[in-house]
């Protein structure tokens, strides 16, 4: 059974820099924008000190945080910061964000297809805020044919957004045996830098 934290004890956010900054601030101080925010090393000691599953999130060069797993509901994971921001993932794919200056969510989230189902194509509706818009996205999922890395495998999602110039490729790395997501790079809003996430599980 996964260890998940209770909402009242979600105080495990770690930020480098000014403590008054929101974990999801997308217009950071000029200095951070130019230099980039220092990394948060995830060592064996760091993992051992964490009581619950967590995710290390980097947004571009300027924002980095550690979010705690609050709960799992029907395969949907909610990762929460101490200031109330949330990222919802399903099999490693970001399906919703809350508490940011610019949020997004899929109207009908698509569960990532299994290795046996790839290649796979789908069309989805993505709602974004600031500006408020409903976007139609066409995705093609493929997997790496490289068999040299037997411990994990990668899935690529090539996305074309209808009506605007926003095309990109999301990547997802899974543990080969458990098919549990390990890390991902995803674009969730046309005005935001990609989200780079590493997942760490406590059992």
pLDDT at residue 131 is higher than 80: yes
- CATH number reported for the structural domain that contains residue 33 in this entry: 2.40.360.10
Token pair, residue 94, equals 């970001």
pLDDT, tens digit (0-9, with 9 covering 90-100), for 139-173: 999 997 655 557 899 999 999 999 999 999 999 99
Mean pLDDT confidence for 49-69: 91
**Strand-strand pairing, 133-143 and 120-128:** antiparallel
What letter does residue 111 receive in the DSSP assignment?
P
Domain enclosing residue 193, as ranges: 7-200
Asked, for residue 151, whether it belongs to a domain, the answer is yes
Asked, for residue 2, whether it belongs to a domain, the answer is no
Asked, for residue 1, whether it belongs to a domain, the answer is no
Cβ–Cβ under 8 Å, residues 171 and 184: yes
Number of folded domains that form the chain: 1
d(CA 160, CA 77): 26
Q: How many residues does the chain have?
A: 203
Cis peptide before 10 (omega within 30 of 0): no
Q: What's the whole-model pTM score?
A: 0.80
pLDDT, tens digit (0-9, with 9 covering 90-100), for 167-193: 999 999 999 888 899 999 999 999 999
């Amino acid at each position: 059974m996964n260890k998940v934290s209770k909402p009242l004890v979600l105080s495990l956010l770690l930020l480098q820099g000014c403590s008054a900054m929101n974990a999801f601030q997308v217009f950071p101080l000029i200095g951070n924008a130019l230099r980039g925010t220092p990394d948060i090393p995830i060592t064996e000691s760091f993992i051992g000190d964490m009581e619950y599953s967590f995710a290390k999130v980097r947004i571009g060069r300027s924002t980095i945080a550690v979010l705690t797993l609050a709960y799992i509901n029907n395969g949907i994971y909610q990762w929460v910061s101490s200031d109330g921001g949330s990222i919802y993932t399903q099999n490693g794919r970001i399906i919703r964000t809350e508490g940011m200056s610019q949020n997004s969510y899929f109207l009908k989230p698509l569960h990532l297809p299994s290795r046996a189902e790839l290649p796979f194509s789908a069309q989805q509706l993505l709602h974004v805020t600031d500006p408020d818009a409903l976007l139609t996205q066409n995705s093609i999922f493929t997997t790496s044919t490289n068999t040299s890395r037997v411990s994990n495998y990668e899935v690529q999602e090539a996305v074309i957004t209808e009506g605007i110039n926003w095309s990109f490729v999301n990547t997802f790395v899974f543990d080969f045996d458990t098919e549990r997501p390990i890390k991902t790079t995803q674009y969730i809003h046309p005005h935001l830098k990609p989200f780079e996430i590493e997942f760490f599980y406590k059992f």
